[in-house]
Every structure is written in structure tokens, then in C-alpha cells.
Structure 1
Amino acid sequence: MSGDLGGRLDTRIPVRSMWVQNTFTNEACEYWISKPGTDPEILRHFSRSLHLVNERLSGRYALENSTLIAIIGLSQFERVQEKYEEALVHVQGLNRLALLRGGIAGFRDQAALMQKLFRQVPSNTTDLEIALYFGTATTFRAEDLPSQGVTLWLRNLYKKDRQSYHKSQKITVGLDDSLQASFLDIMSLAAFVSGRTPCPTKLQIYPFHDMIIFLGFRLLETRPLDQAKLVTTYESLLHLALIGFLTTFLRGLAGRASNFKAATSSLRKAIQEAPIEGYHFQKLALWSALIGGHVLFNQDDEYWLIPRLAEVSYALNLDGWGGVEELLMDFPWIPSIHNKTAKRLWSMSKERSFEHKRTVETIPWG
């Protein structure tokens, strides 16, 4: 994915890392670094790690940094295996240990460890992904994350494009304050990555992913997925599609899409049931469907997604991809990442519309 981010990110990872240092002092840490999988040797290492962590938790090392890091490693192993129930147990354990050390505020002077509590590897975070899988709230809170500064920096960059920023503000009129802030910040993120805002310097990879996690936490605090409204409104569809957009940056091993069951089912239901009435709702439905088609849905969804896209495209009177992309840019959209899948899906919807029109024209009416 780094090649699609427009050269805006500094993807170099520091060689000196407290994670690496702890592999030499904490045997439990060492084992989890093995490539996750179902190989018997890897599973044996993982079982040994569990045993070692339990030993540390029952002794005088329970609250040491190395123990916390080992538990993070275990939760990461479970996450990449998509064993979210087990991963949740580890994350909740981390939270309890953090509380015993005075809460997250007690880690303010230990930035490296604090980052590990929220970001297990540069492109994933177990706590957020668990919430997207189960539809529940996150264990930690957005206010605990040291990411507000980066978010504000990107927002100020986006404000320099007065026309685009003003247009984004108009889209958020009538939304609650938290969702309005999330939309503007995620628009700022998309504009930055797409190269549509000034780029005085590259953004380092760790602060970038801290920001993704922060924005995801804030959206789920606005409305957890298991509290979605029964009736799809403009606000509820926008909220779900923004979550969908952020999953663009939450990829599993080898860049494959992760299984975010609750996020996927919620967005699917909202798109299927969205009333295609009114220009603004039609635009939102188009963007939501194409974002979902890129990041959350699969080929099994095309039986309903393609007709839905055809319906929305007809309502918007869209004949060519240029008009589609122009509308999409009013929402968080990164052409270098999203266009390929979106073009394919939209072309399929246009072909379906053409076939339907041809069928209707050939029906003998008299």
C-alpha cells in the first residue's frame, strides 16, 4: 500500500526499538515474533509464550513493561489468526494491568510503550479491529491517544484549500459535532494522501497510523456498531462509510483485507436500505457503495451491489467515469488506492443498466 500513498509518508521504521530490545530480556516476547500460522512449531512457541506470560503475571514481574509487551505480542498473534475472542481477552488484560499502574496517564512519559499499547504493528491495532469485528466499543479511549496534534496539523493544511474545505463544511451541516469533526479530519487525511494539499514535509509512518487509530476510536465512540439505528439515515450511512474508509489502512498479512464482520454487515445493510431520494443522499450512497466495494465487500456481494450502483448512477444521471469521480471527491477518496476497484464495479453496473434497457426496449407491447 505504501506505493499508493503518493510519497506523503516516511515509511522508514527506527532500528532501535524497545520491542526489539525486549526480545533479548523477555523469553515470552521472543516467541511471538515467529511468523503467525498453523505450523506445529509456531503453535508450540505460542503455547510456550502463554505459559511464560502466565508465570510473569503470577509473580513480581506482572507490571513490568516487558510483560505488557509480551501480552501485546500474544494479542497480535491471535488477531492475525482472526481469533478475535482470544485477542479480546489479551486486550482487556492489558487494560487491567494499565489501570494497576495508574491508568494510561501513567505512560505519558513512556511514549514508545504507550504506542505499543495501541499499535501492535505499524499497520494494525488489535483493539480497534476487535471492535470492528464484534461491533462493540473499544477497550481504550480516543482521549488516551497521542494523535490529536497530527490530526490538527492535517486539518490546518486542508483549510488552506478554502474552496474544498468550505465545500466539506457544507456537507456536514446538521450533523452532530463529533461526526462533523470526524468527517472534516478524514477529508483532511484523504486530501493529504492524495496530494491535494500542500506537503511541507513527509509524515512519519508511526504518527500516521496513530492518527488512523485515533479517528477510528472517535467514530466508534460517537456510535458503536452494535448501536446502529434500525432505519438508515444520512447521518448513520455517513458514519458507517467513514469507518469503511478507515479500514483502507487496516490490512492483514501480505496486504489482505481483514475480517471486520460487524463493520461489513452494518454498512451492507445501510447501503441496501438507504432511500435513494434527494441529490445529497444519492451522492452519499454512491460513495458508500464504492468504498464498501473496495475495502469490506467481496464478490459474493456483487449480486446486490451492482444493481444498487446501477440504480444510484441512473438517479444521478451519470454516463461516464469522469462524472463519477468528480462526485466521489466530495467525500474521503484516494484515487491511487480506490479507483481501480471502483471503476470495475461501476463499469459492471453500467453494463447491467444497458442490458436492462435493451431488454425493456425489445419487449413486444402490442
Structure 2
Amino acid sequence: MLHLRQLSNFILDVMSPPEFCRFTGVTEWMWYQLTFYNEASMASACAAFLTEDSYHSPLALYHMSQAYRLINQELSSNEALSDTTMAVVASINIYDRLYGDPKKAMVHLNGVTRMVALKGGARRLDRVLTPSRRSDIELALHCGSKPKFSSEDVPRHLILMNSWDGLEPRRLEEAELFRSVLPQSVCIDLREVVLDCLRLSRILNQANHGHNKLDPAAYQSTLVYVGYRLLETNPRQDSKIDTNFDILVRLAMIGFHNTFCFGLGRKLVVFPPVIEQFTSAARAIYETNRARQMVVFWALLMGKISSLTTGDETWLVANLKTLADDLELRTWSEVSNALQAFPWVKATHEAQAEKFWDGTLAHYFLRAS
């Protein structure tokens, strides 16, 4: 039978994590409501949240086949373009994404996209589309394809950070971000999205410390906005600045963003093309400038904790050790303090990074001291 507690916890954990968001209750979310008055949504939820059966078990597959049958009936009826039908197609798309079937997920996302076009555009359907936008971003990263929607489709009133039209900051805190090492180190093409990630990091750290817990809808929309901005921003291939450096920074920011867009059990989604690009850029990079060395150190560590590295990580540990040595970072406390100038949220990143440091790097510096 459906494990309602699992469903409730998943919706709350993903859509409004308590470390950042104020509690609104699971019944406020459309996806929970749909489960109780739409058969197709109930069937897909049953497949996703069976108490003891895995998603590929005969029982789970039976429920998904029921969901497909029921949604096809709805799509053939007068309700084909209703918000409810669109939301159910989106929920099935999310199921496919959660369980690693990008081909099926892309089929259903294409269906949602066509329905959106027939309904007059994405901006009119924000409540229905927020989870599909997340799926859109993740499928673009997984397939190396262009997303169906864009940052322009995200309602501006739900974006938490102030995003200026130009690069010139207008407030003291913006000036501090602008002068920090990361935006000053990257090519101009990346600077604004770097500032967006720094703003997001600052907002989440403040929320976690109890300063104005965030509205869950605004939290989700802001994550979606930053995700699209990262997809839309690429270092120019003709840039005279070292493109490996800029590529590495952009991929590390994608990793940073991914740590807030987890799936079931808070497992991070893995994107093979991104891993390949990150590994290639990280292995090729060599910096002697101290500021850029610190950027690379942050990028490599973020890559590690955001699932951008897999398999043999000997090269990663060796590079981090060399950089830490050059930067005179000997203890985790020193590392943690240095990372505060970067996209880094203590509640999300600190424990895992410290565990990695203690397990692989700390002993080098203990022996040296």
C-alpha cells in the first residue's frame, strides 16, 4: 500500500527543506492534493512510494502501467488541457526522473511543453510547472541538450535575490560580493551568474541561521532560476582567458546548485556528461596565481561533495593536497574560513567536506606539523 508518510516527507524535504524554509504543511502542495483526487496521480505515487517494493518490482510496474493508461484516457478527453491533467503528466515525468529513466522523462517533458504552448505559455502556469522546470534542468544536464524553458519563464516576484541588469553593484553587500575573489577571477561572461550563486549562498546561510526562513515557493523558483542561468551561461570559446579555468568554475557552480536539487533519500542526481567535462577540466588545470589557486581548491572540493567525481580520485586528492599546501591551509577550520568567500552553504556542504578532509587530507598536514 502507499506509504503516505514517505510521500509527505519527500514533498516537504524536496520542496521546502526545513533548514531553509518555513513550514507550510504538506497539504498545501498541489502534488500531495493530486494524489487523493486523481487516479493517475495516485497510481504513479503508489509506484514511487510502496512500503517494501522497489520501483522496478512487478507491483510498482503494474501501478505505473495503470498511471499511463489513466493519463492517456485523460489526454483523450475534454480535460486534456486542464491544469490537473498537466500536473499529472508532470508528476509522471518526475517519477521517471527520480528513477533514472531519462528517455521516458524526456517524452513526458515534451508532452508538458506542448501542453504549455497550447495553454498560452509558461508564465501563466507557475504552480503547475515548478517541478517540471527542475526536471527540465536535470534532463538538459543529463542529455547535454537545450532546456525547454528558460530563466525568463520564472516569475520575477518569486526570485529571492536581487539581480541587477548590469555588473555595477548598487549596495554595500553587493559591492562586497562583486569584489570577492570568484567574480574577479572569471571571464566577464560568467561574472553575473557567479554573483547569482554567491547571492543564493548568502541567502541560504542567513535562512539557516534563523534569519527569515524562506517561502517554499520562492525557494523553489530561485533554485530553478539559478539552474537556468547556469545552463544559459557559457564561457566564450574565443576568450583569451584560460577556458579550462572558466569551464571548471561553471561546472563547480552546477555542482553547487545540484546539492539542493536532490531526489529520494536526499541522493544527488548524477549527470555523466557533466562529470566527464568536470574531470577533463580539473585534470588539465594548473594555476600559480594564489587567488586562482583558491578558486580551483573550492571548485575541486565542491566537485567532490556534489557527485562530479567518480571512480579513482587519487588525482583529486593529490591536487587538493598540493593546493592546500600552496595556500597554507593546514586545518579544517582554516579551510572552512577560506570557503566562506565562495558559493558554500554550511548546512549543506560543511559536514561532508570536513569528513572528506579528515579522511583523506588531514593526516598529510598532521605529519608535516
Same-fold call, TM cutoff 0.5: yes
In 2, the alpha carbon distance for the partners of 1:19 and 1:344 equals: 36
Judged with a 3 Å threshold, the aligned counterparts in structure 2 of structure 1 residues 314 and 266 are, in CA distance, closer, same or farther, namely same
In 2, the alpha carbon distance for the partners of 1:236 and 1:299 equals: 18
Q: Is 1:258 aligned with 2:276?
A: no
Q: Which residue of 1 aligns with 2:138?
A: 129
2:107 maps to a residue whose letter is V
1:304 maps to a residue whose letter is W
Partner deviation per Cα, 1:134-185 (whole Å, 9 max, x = no partner): 2222111111012565333599xx95546743533x6424756663222112
In 2, the alpha carbon distance for the partners of 1:40 and 1:196 equals: 43
Shift of 1:78: 0.6
In 2, the alpha carbon distance for the partners of 1:146 and 1:188 equals: 18
Judged with a 3 Å threshold, the aligned counterparts in structure 2 of structure 1 residues 300 and 352 are, in CA distance, closer, same or farther, namely farther
Aligned with residue 294 of structure 1, among 305, 309, 318: 305
Partner deviation per Cα, 1:62-98 (whole Å, 9 max, x = no partner): 2122221121121111111111111011111110111
In 2, the alpha carbon distance for the partners of 1:19 and 1:194 equals: 28
In 2, the alpha carbon distance for the partners of 1:60 and 1:196 equals: 44
Q: How does 1:47-58 map to 2 (within 5 A)?
A: 47-58=65-76
Question: Would the aligned equivalents of 2:20 and 2:208 in 1 still touch at CA under 8 Å?
Answer: no
Shift of 1:350: 4.5
Partner deviation per Cα, 1:292-335 (whole Å, 9 max, x = no partner): 11111466343221111112112223222233223211111122
Question: Would the aligned equivalents of 1:63 and 1:101 in 2 still touch at CA under 8 Å?
Answer: yes
Shift of 1:34: 1.4
Judged with a 3 Å threshold, the aligned counterparts in structure 2 of structure 1 residues 40 and 292 are, in CA distance, closer, same or farther, namely same
- Unpaired runs of 5+ residues, structure 1, are 108-112, 359-366
In 1, the alpha carbon distance for the partners of 2:175 and 2:252 equals: 23
Identity of aligned residues (%): 26
Question: Would the aligned equivalents of 2:19 and 2:207 in 1 still touch at CA under 8 Å?
Answer: no
In 1, the alpha carbon distance for the partners of 2:101 and 2:207 equals: 39
Q: How does 1:12-31 map to 2 (within 5 A)?
A: 12-13=24-25, 15-23=27-35, 25-31=37-43
The TM-score with structure 2 as length reference comes to 0.80
Question: Would the aligned equivalents of 1:182 and 1:218 in 2 still touch at CA under 8 Å?
Answer: yes
Aligned with residue 64 of structure 1, among 79, 82, 102: 82
Q: Is 1:150 aligned with 2:162?
A: no
In 2, the alpha carbon distance for the partners of 1:163 and 1:140 equals: 31
Stretch of structure 1 that moved more, 179-188 or 77-86: 179-188
In 2, the alpha carbon distance for the partners of 1:177 and 1:232 equals: 12
Q: Provide the secondary structure at the position in 2 that maps to 1:119.
A: helix
In 2, the alpha carbon distance for the partners of 1:18 and 1:78 equals: 19
In 2, the alpha carbon distance for the partners of 1:245 and 1:281 equals: 18
Q: Which residue of 2 aligns with 1:212?
A: 223
Q: How does 1:107-186 map to 2 (within 5 A)?
A: 107=124, 113-119=125-131, 125-147=134-156, 149-153=158-162, 159=171, 161=173, 164-168=176-180, 171-173=182-184, 175=186, 179-186=190-197
Stretch of structure 1 that moved more, 85-94 or 146-155: 146-155
Partner deviation per Cα, 1:175-222 (whole Å, 9 max, x = no partner): 566632221122122122223999763212221121111101111011
Q: How does 1:79-118 map to 2 (within 5 A)?
A: 79-105=97-123, 107=124, 113-118=125-130
Q: How does 1:191-202 map to 2 (within 5 A)?
A: 191-195=202-206, 201-202=212-213
Q: Provide the secondary structure at the position in 2 that maps to 1:249.
A: coil
Q: Provide the secondary structure at the position in 2 that maps to 1:10.
A: coil
Q: Provide the secondary structure at the position in 2 that maps to 1:152.
A: coil
Q: Which residue of 2 aligns with 1:364?
A: none
Question: Would the aligned equivalents of 1:128 and 1:138 in 2 still touch at CA under 8 Å?
Answer: yes
Question: Would the aligned equivalents of 1:119 and 1:210 in 2 still touch at CA under 8 Å?
Answer: no
Question: Would the aligned equivalents of 2:256 and 2:302 in 1 still touch at CA under 8 Å?
Answer: yes
1:31 maps to a residue whose letter is A
Q: Which residue of 1 aligns with 2:322?
A: 311
Question: Would the aligned equivalents of 1:141 and 1:217 in 2 still touch at CA under 8 Å?
Answer: yes
Judged with a 3 Å threshold, the aligned counterparts in structure 2 of structure 1 residues 33 and 232 are, in CA distance, closer, same or farther, namely same
The total of aligned residue pairs comes to 342
In 2, the alpha carbon distance for the partners of 1:284 and 1:43 equals: 46
1:89 maps to a residue whose letter is V
- Unpaired runs of 5+ residues, structure 2, are 1-12, 49-54, 165-169
The TM-score with structure 1 as length reference comes to 0.81
Shift of 1:284: 1.1
Q: Which residue of 2 aligns with 1:110?
A: none
Question: Would the aligned equivalents of 1:194 and 1:335 in 2 still touch at CA under 8 Å?
Answer: yes
Q: Which residue of 1 aligns with 2:279?
A: 268
Shift of 1:268: 2.1
Partner deviation per Cα, 1:224-254 (whole Å, 9 max, x = no partner): 9xxxx9x743322211111110111011111
In 2, the alpha carbon distance for the partners of 1:311 and 1:212 equals: 33
Higher relative contact order (CA 8 A, sep 6+): 1
Stretch of structure 1 that moved more, 261-270 or 325-334: 261-270
Stretch of structure 1 that moved more, 286-295 or 272-281: 272-281
In 2, the alpha carbon distance for the partners of 1:28 and 1:201 equals: 38
Question: Would the aligned equivalents of 1:289 and 1:309 in 2 still touch at CA under 8 Å?
Answer: yes
Q: Which residue of 2 aligns with 1:351?
A: 363
Q: Provide the secondary structure at the position in 2 that maps to 1:33.
A: helix
